[in-house]
Amino acid sequence: AGVEAKGFEHMGLDPRLLRAVSELGWSVPTAIQARAIPLAMEGRDLLARART
């Protein structure tokens, strides 16, 4: 399933998290973040794995 590259600001994250992400210099989530964060925000259980 394709995941559009959108910034963290489109994920419905708490403003404090958005500020921290910005301070770290992150602007676009990685593929695993783009897939996992929305599921976690729905309260779903998940197990994720990604190459580092």
Q: Over the stretch 1-14, which tens digit does the pLDDT of each residue have?
A: 455 568 999 999 99
- What's the confidence (pLDDT) of residue 6? 84
Q: Over the stretch 17-26, which tens digit does the pLDDT of each residue have?
A: 999 999 999 9
- What's the confidence (pLDDT) of residue 22? 95
Six-digit token string for 1: 């399933």
- What's the confidence (pLDDT) of residue 51? 85
- Confidence band of 52 (pLDDT split at 50, 70, 90): confident
Residue 8: how many CB atoms within 10 A of its CB?
Answer: 19
Q: Where do the DSSP E strands lie in the chain?
A: none
- CA dist 25 and 32 (Å) reads 18
- CA dist 11 and 14 (Å) reads 9
